[in-house]
Amino acid sequence: MQIGLYRKLRLKYFISEKRYNLEKFLPEGKKFYCSSARNGLMELIRPLPVKNVLLPAYVPQGIYVPFFREDYKLHYYDVNDDLTLNSKDIENFIIELNITALVVIHYFGYIQDFSSVKQICKKHKVLLIEDCAHVFPCKRSKELNVGSVGDISLFSFNKFLPLPDGAVLCINNTEITTDILYRNSFSNSLAVFLLTINMLMNTLIDNIGKLRHLKKHLIKLNSQIYEKYYHYVNLPKNPVRISRISRYLISRFNYEKLIDDYQQNILLIDKSLRESKLNVPGHYEFGMVLFCIPVIIGKRDDLIYELEKKGIRCTVLEKRWDYAFKNGLSNFPNAASFIKRHCLLPVSLFISQEEAKHIAESVSEIFKNNTNFTQR
Ligand SMILES: Cc1ncc(COP(=O)(O)O)c(C=O)c1O
């Protein structure tokens, strides 16, 4: 069990003497670190006098909540079926709806080129918010200028690293002069505590072996803890400082080693998915650090079940990502199709070579043996 935990936590990636500087991979300019991207964003969007925002129809709670709580009028645009956007449509919406803020997202860590949207926003004086929460700041993301395009960009560290909180907001537009005043928040501390418990429980669940009954109960309990976390993390209305434990841990990872190993693993899985002719809506380039690998598939529940049988736990991002669909799915057909048909392969910076091989082989095997899967 102890060895299992050691391997799961990949303690070899923690270092003690040398300090790594994540900041060198972030855009230059003013930045502020917050407990979560959402509570920092709320402060930055508060001063806009006209509150009309255009969000992608496939939008996470962490972006929706700040605009909703700051009384913005929410409008949505549909994404393309590969999760890119159509800049001509965006410009039409901006003009028709008198939009003052626009959000674009690098979904799942596939880096997109938003330079044409930037030109449109400049022309119409729209605040561009570049959501890089799924992008891990690294050499490749720096080369591709991720986080430098938006007037404001945001990164969220606990999507990649085992931290209970941590995000950074980068202010690229020098005309934005907001001074950040941090406040203490009891609800945020509670959120940090709950996520710590959730992460520890996840590690325990993954290493519990054959005790299936206990495992089932722990999974249920852990999902309740996770729900509570989301309740409390949304409550602060002002920026909260990143916790001390996360600050300490951020400077203690061996990112170079982590990223080197990770790239090989992702290439392996990506190759296997494409050879199995699966629909992966994103183009992987060597050097990108993905948040997970999305696959679009008709019978996703069957795929999730088959992978589960092989010990691979897939997820879907549907709950807390469905705000645009309150009036049904028909207004945003591409986003609606994605939300109902995607499945996310669980890759993380900490996957081992054996795990990556296992995922790649399992996918090939499933698709060789099941001709009735709708692949596209
Ligand atoms: C794409 C995306 N953007 C923004 C956020 C918000 O980040 P945070 O949890 O740090 O507020 C999330 C969180 O789930 C996210 O997935």
Pocket of ligand 1 (CB under 6 A): 36-38, 60, 62-63, 105, 131, 133-134, 156, 167
Q: What is the rounded end-to-end Cα distance, in angstroms, of the chain?
A: 41
**The dihedral sign for the CA sequence 64, 44, 136, 147:** positive
Q: Which atom of ligand 1 is nearest to 156's Cα?
A: 10
Q: Which two tokens stand for residue 135?
A: 């992008």
Q: How far apart are CA 59 and CA 323, in angstroms?
A: 7
CA 349 to chain centre: 13
Which of 156, 161, 229, 290 gets mutated to test ligand 1 (max ligand atoms within 8 A of its CB)? 156
Distance 225 CA to ligand 1 centre (A): 18
- Sheet containing 167-171: give its strands across: 30-34, 167-171, 152-156, 127-131, 101-105, 52-56, 73-77
Query: pTM value?
Result: 0.93
From atom 6 of ligand 1, which residue's Cα is the shortest distance away? Answer: 62
Which of 34, 35, 38, 185 gets mutated to test ligand 1 (max ligand atoms within 8 A of its CB)? 38
Distance 157 CA to ligand 1 centre (A): 9
Q: Which atom of ligand 1 is nearest to 105's Cα?
A: 1
What's the confidence (pLDDT) of residue 61?
98
Q: Which atom of ligand 1 is nearest to 320's Cα?
A: 14
Please give the chain's pLDDT, 376 residues, in tens.
344 444 555 555 555 456 667 888 999 989 999 999 999 999 999 999 999 999 999 999 999 999 999 999 999 999 999 999 999 999 999 999 999 999 999 999 999 999 999 999 999 999 999 999 999 999 899 999 999 999 999 999 999 888 999 999 999 999 998 778 899 999 999 999 999 999 999 888 877 777 888 888 999 999 999 999 999 999 999 999 999 999 988 888 878 878 888 888 999 999 999 888 889 998 888 889 999 999 999 889 999 999 988 989 899 999 999 999 988 888 999 999 999 999 999 888 888 889 999 999 998 888 887 666 655 4
Which of 159, 188, 233, 235 gets mutated to test ligand 1 (max ligand atoms within 8 A of its CB)? 159
- CA–CA distances in Å: residue 179 to residues 43, 44, 150, 156, 174: 9, 9, 19, 20, 12
